[in-house]
Chains A and B, each alone.
Chain A
Amino acid sequence: MLRELLREDRIILDMKAKTKEEALRELVDVLDLSDDKKEILFKSLMQREVLGSTGIGKGIAIPHSRSIVVDNITLVVGVSREGVDFESLDGKPVHLFFMLIATPNDPSMKYLTALGAIARVSRSIAHEGEIKTDFSSPRELIDYILAHDHE
C-alpha cells in the first residue's frame, strides 16, 4: 500500500521548520495546490492537532486529515535533521513526518488502511532506536521506509 503512495516529488530531505505550524506549512507546500487550497489544508491539519498531537513519540509524527482540496489520497514525507518541537506524546523532537491527506469520500477505507500502514512502519522504525536522517536522495528515503514495511 505505501509503495503506491510514496512519490519522489513528495519528499523533503532537509526540513527547515522549527515549530509545528512551520512544519505543517512546509509539508503542505510540497503539494501542487493554489495558496487558497494550501491554507484550507493547513487549517484542517491544525484542527486535528487541536485534538491532540499526531506526534506519536520516538521522533515520528503522522499529521493527517480528510480534505476537500485533494483529488486522491496523498502522502508527503519529510525529514528534519535538527528535529521539530511537535508537542509529541513523549516530548521528543520529531525527525520524521508522514503527512497523509484523503478525500472526504475516500472509498473502501483506503485512508484508515494507509494510516494503519504508516503507524506500523513508524513503530518498526522507532523500534530500531535512532531515526536515520541523512538521506542523499528521495529514493533512498523511500527504500528506507519500504524496508520497514512488513505487512
Chain B
Amino acid sequence: MSKREYLRKLYLLQDLDLLIQQVKDPEYEAKTGLKVDEERIRDLENRRNELARELLKADPVTYQKYEMLKRRYGRGITRVVNHMCTNCFAALPASVIPRDDEIITCPNCGIILIWLE
C-alpha cells in the first residue's frame, strides 16, 4: 500500500471513529431525537476494526501513533491549511512538505498531517 493510499484509509478510519463516538454519545439522541440501532453500530464497529487491522498490518508504527494521538487529542490526523497544522495551529517549517514516501507529522504536536487539494 502506498503512503498516499495509507493516509486516505487512515482518515477514513478517523471518520468511522468520529461517527461511532458521535452516535454512542448519550447527548446525541437526547438533542437530535435520532436513535441509532445497536446492531448497526456493532456492524460499523466491525467494519472499523477490519480497516484498523489492515492498517496495523501495513504500517504498525503509524497505526499505533494514530491510536496514541487519538487518546491524547481525540483524533490522530489533521489537515494542513495555509502551511499550518490545524490541530495545534503552529506554522509549519518550510521544510515540512507532503511526500509520497513518508508519513509526515507536525513537529510541534506530533499529529499526522494530510494535505488535501
Q: Which chain A residues have a beta carbon within 8 Å of chain B's beta carbons?
A: 34, 36-37, 40, 43-44, 47-48, 50-52, 54, 56, 62, 65-69, 71, 103-105, 109, 112-113, 115-116, 119, 123
Contact = CB atoms under 8 A, between A and B. Distances in A.
28 contacts: A34-B116, A34-B117, A44-B19, A47-B15, A51-B23, A51-B44, A56-B33, A62-B32, A65-B15, A66-B15, A66-B18, A66-B19, A66-B22, A67-B15, A68-B77, A68-B78, A69-B116, A71-B86, A103-B86, A104-B78, A105-B74, A105-B75, A112-B31, A115-B28, A119-B31, A119-B32, A119-B33, A123-B33
A37 B33 contact: no
Interface in B1-57: 11-12, 14-16, 18-19, 22-23, 25, 27-28, 31-37, 40-41, 44
Given A51-B23, A104-B78, A36 B15 contact: no
Nearest to B73: A105
Interface string B64-91: 0000000001110111010000110000
Contacts of B27: 109, 112
Interface residues of B, number: 34
Contacts of A105: 73-75, 78, 86-87
Contacts of A116: 31-32
Contact of B75 (A69, A104, A113): A104
A59 to B, nearest CB: 15
Interface of B: 11-12, 14-16, 18-19, 22-23, 25, 27-28, 31-37, 40-41, 44, 73-75, 77-79, 81, 86-87, 114, 116-117
Nearest to A122: B33
Nearest to A120: B31
Contacts of A34: 116-117
B113 to A, nearest CB: 11
A40 B87 CA distance: 19
B45 to A, nearest CB: 11
A2 B110 CA distance: 35
A61 B23 CA distance: 17
Given A40-B116, A51-B44, A112-B31, 5 more contacts: A37-B116, A66-B19, A68-B14, A68-B78, A113-B31
